[in-house]
Amino acid sequence: MTTAIEYGITEFVTECLDKFRFLIWDEFDGETMIQIAIKERNEKILNLILEISGNDRDDLVSREDNNYNSILHYAAKLAPSAKLNLVSGAALQMQREVQWFKGVENIVHSQYKYTRNGDKETAKYVFTEKHKDLVEKGEKWMKDTSGSCMVVATLIATVAFAAAFTVPRGNISDTNSLQNGVPIFLSGRTFAIFAVADSVALFSSITSDLMFLAIMTSRYAEEDFYKSLPQKLIIGLATLFISMASILISFGAAFTIVLRDKYSWAPIPVASFGLVSVLLFAFLEFPLFLQMVYFTYFPSIFGNKNQSVTNKKKTTKLAKEIEAKKEL
């Protein structure tokens, strides 16, 4: 049973509970099934056990081991390395650990949140002690990532700002004209594309810089890894991607204005190479970005509602059978 929970073999656990329903109350080397599931970070099996427990859920989640460790103390321990490595980046690993701790905290009665184990330690204290190294690694990962992205965003902001005053084909230089200093191709559609793209690149790169600066100056407390830091990194990466795409569009528009009279085919290779650059950046950074968005805004800790119909029927049936047996 311990091995099945460790490796997430939900079918085996379901069949065992179907034949031996009392197993949710038994101990395996001093630990119950729910304690093992929490320690191994297996939310599917934990959801299964909680659903089967039925009306005895409060009694089940309030049980302690021989050292008076509650299930919240088990959630406070560092996850196995195999589970941590499923998430890329120490900061996202720390975020997942905080989400797991809060998830277990939500199913425990409030009076058990501050209980002490045999070593006189609360679950929160255990969590802080066990995750010191991961917090430091998460801080380093965040700062390194933010620093690298900040350099790129600053370069884009510099180029976009300079491009606003060195427009393609120059300005009208006639002191006797009311349009003196006005861009020559101001009324052209391509120039409008250049102006809009350059403005978007400037503002988005500045926004990206601000987000990465906020990350660099954060306090890096455990709670910051829950939503604050990931949200800033998500906004920073999103605006950085927008600024890169915009500056390439701006360059393409300016290049077209300069060369279209002599080389009408010039926009084609410019657009092609620009698209390759944008797609390459998206290919390299989008998986990390998608993972951050998913874990930040769609965490599945104890919220797995996508169980198969078969599993739902089985767990509901088991819960009813346990209740019927108790009544007898």
- Give pLDDT tens digits for 228-271: 999 999 999 999 999 988 988 888 888 777 776 666 676 777 77
Cα–Cα distance measured from residue 45 to residue 73, given in angstroms and rounded to the nearest whole number: 18
Sign of CA dihedral 102, 108, 111, 112: negative
In this prediction, residue 207 carries a pLDDT of 96
In this prediction, residue 306 carries a pLDDT of 37
* Average pLDDT estimate for 18-41: 88
Would the pLDDT of 297 be above 50? yes
For all residues of the chain together, what is the average pLDDT? 82
3-class secondary structure per residue, the chain: CHHHHHCCCHHHHHHHHHHCHHHHHCEECCEEHHHHHHHCCCHHHHHHHHHHHHHHHHHHHCCCCCCCCCHHHHHHCCCCHHHHCCCCCHHHHHHHHHHHHHHHHHHCCHHHCCCECCCCCEHHHHHHHHCHHHHHHHHHHHHHHHHHHHHHHHHHHHHHHHHCCCCCCCECCCCCCCCCCCECCCCCHHHHHHHHHHHHHHHHHHHHHHHHHHHHCCCCCHHHHCCHHHHHHHHHHHHHHHHHHHHHHHHHHHHHHHHCCCCCCCHHHHHHHHHHHHHHHHHHHHHHHHHHHHHHHCCCCCCCCCCCHHHHHHHHHHHHHHHHHHHC
In this prediction, residue 295 carries a pLDDT of 86
* Average pLDDT estimate for 206-214: 95
- Most confidently modeled of 62-66, 165-169, 212-216? 212-216
* Average pLDDT estimate for 142-171: 86
Its pTM surpasses 0.85: no
Assign 175 a pLDDT band (cuts: 50, 70, 90): low
Would the pLDDT of 81 be above 80? yes
Please state, as a whole number, how many other Cβ atoms lie within 10 Å of the Cβ of residue 24.
21
Output 112 or 301, whichever has higher pLDDT: 112
* Average pLDDT estimate for 80-100: 89
